[in-house]
Amino acid sequence: MGEPLRFISFEGPEGSGKSTQAGRLAAWLRARGASVTLTREPGGTLLGQEIRSWLLHREEPMGEEAEFLLYSADRAEHLRTIVRPALAEGAFVISDRFVDSSYAYQGYGRGLDLDWLRAVSAGILRGVLPSLTFLLDLPPERGLARLAGRDRLEGESLEFHRRVREGYRSLARSEPERFVVLDAELPADELENRITREVISRWPSLSGS
d(CA 171, CA 80): 25
Q: Are 166 and 108 in contact (CB under 8 A)?
A: yes
| Region of residue 179 (phi > 0: left; psi between -120 and 50: alpha; otherwise: beta) | beta
Residue 23, annotated as binding a ligand: no
CA–CA separation, 186 vs 208, rounded Å? 27
15 is in an annotated binding site: yes
Q: Is 12 labeled as ligand-binding?
A: yes
Q: Is 16 annotated as a binding residue?
A: yes
* C-beta of residue 202 within 8 angstroms of C-beta of residue 174: no
CA of 39: how far to CAs of 19, 119, 158, 196, 203, in Å? 10, 24, 28, 18, 20
Radius of gyration of the chain (CA): 16
The answer to whether 14 is annotated as binding is yes
Q: Binding site for ATP, residues?
A: 12-19
Q: Binding site, residues?
A: 12-19
